[in-house]
Amino acid sequence: MQEAREGHRVAKEPRREPASLVGGYVVPFALIHVGAMAALLRGVSVLGVLLFLAVFMLQGFGITAGYHRYFAHRSFKTSRGFQFVLAVLGTLAVQKGVLWWTAHHRRHHRCADAEGDPHSPRDGVVWSHMGWFLSAQAEATDPAAIGDLTGFPELVWLDRNFVTPPLLLAVGLSAAFGWTGLLWGFCLGTTAAWHLTYAVNSLGHRRGSRRYDTADDSRNSFALALFTFGEGWHNNHHRFPSSSRQGLLWWEIDWTYYALRGLLLSGLVWDLVEPPVSSRNASH
């Protein structure tokens, strides 16, 4: 058991039975990785790269703006219709259902790097990166954590049928672009989105700088933020979790926040939660 530094809570090594380490998500997870490797073996094409980027960006926005900043943290408001659109976009990233994802992320913030955190690197970097996600221990959803969402039957339905949107995406890409659409678009795009999301859980609590002395190990990383649509400003996020903006200084690139500002101008979202003005002072 690793002792937390001063001001931290103590993180206890979770007791995991061997049978609980393999959940029902392992097989599709492995198959999509095989498809990603097959894409690279087939060789690079302009169409393949364009499809990869399109799927990766669509899934990335669905996770960062939808699952994370909207559903998990309620960092802005939107209509019920666009709320469902955000839920569908997040579901396309093949990271399970919107209620499941929200419940686990809220638990992470309640217990960050302490006992009860579902994916702290203190329990092992591989576990925090993807082991927890594949574990049978993580398959249940805590209804007490998502009481603000369970009143929407369309979200409950989507959470129960989270396989449907990505399956339709895979079939659609295959029908339109053949093997290139399936392997380069869906499999490689999904695999990249997976591991960059997981890197926020693992590297985001291990590598980088700390502007704020939060009660966890969260870090800021320019490189991670650049490829995770702004999620790499993780220490900023743990200091101001409800903020729609995670890159606080002018040079802290936050692609998701820029997109939300564009949606604000269009009227699709409103009431973006902003961090205190003092947080954007470089003297911190």
pLDDT at 282: 53
Name the nearest CA neighbour of 119 among 14, 127, 23. 127
- pLDDT score at 277: 82
User: Which pTM was predicted?
Assistant: 0.91
Specify if 13 maps to a domain.
Answer: no
pLDDT at 134: 92
Judged by average pLDDT, the poorest of 111-120, 136-145, 221-230 is 136-145
Arithmetic mean of pLDDT, 117-131? 94
Q: How many Å apart are CA 70 and CA 79, to the nearest integer? A: 12
User: Helix or strand or coil: residue 206?
Assistant: coil
pLDDT averaged over the chain?
91
Please give the tally of structural domains in the chain: 1
pLDDT of 6 strictly over 80: no
Assess whether pLDDT exceeds 70 at residue 13: no
pLDDT at 278: 76
pLDDT in tens, 153-210: 999 999 999 999 999 999 999 999 999 999 999 999 999 999 999 999 999 999 999 9
User: Is the model's pLDDT at 68 over the cut of 60?
Assistant: yes
- Please check whether residue 148 lies inside any domain of the structure: yes
pLDDT band with cut points at 50, 70 and 90 for residue 4:
very low
Whether 21 shows a pLDDT value over 70: the answer reads no
CA separation (Å) from 105 to 65, 169, 188, 267?
A: 14, 25, 25, 27
Coil vs helix vs strand at 191 = helix
Considering only CA atoms, which of 93, 113, 259, 121 is closest in space to residue 246?
259
The Cβ of residue 272 has, within 10 Å, a number of other Cβ atoms equal to: 17
Do the domain assignments include residue 189?
A: yes
Q: pLDDT tens, 31-53?
A: 999 999 999 999 999 999 999 99
| Mean pLDDT of the region 215-237 | 98
Average pLDDT for residues 110-118, to the nearest whole number? 95
In a domain, 14, yes or no: no
Q: Is position 120 within any domain?
A: yes
- pLDDT reported for residue 10: 35
Q: Which pLDDT value is given to residue 106?
A: 98
Is 8 a member of any domain?
Answer: no
Question: Taking the chain, what is the end-to-end CA distance rounded to the nearest angstrom?
Answer: 32
Share of the chain above pLDDT 90, in %: 86
Give me the pLDDT at residue 24, please: 80
Establish if 212 belongs to a structural domain. Answer: yes
Domain limits for position 270 = 19-280
Q: Which of 26-30, 34-38, 86-90 has the lowest mean pLDDT?
A: 26-30
- Is 199 domain-assigned? yes
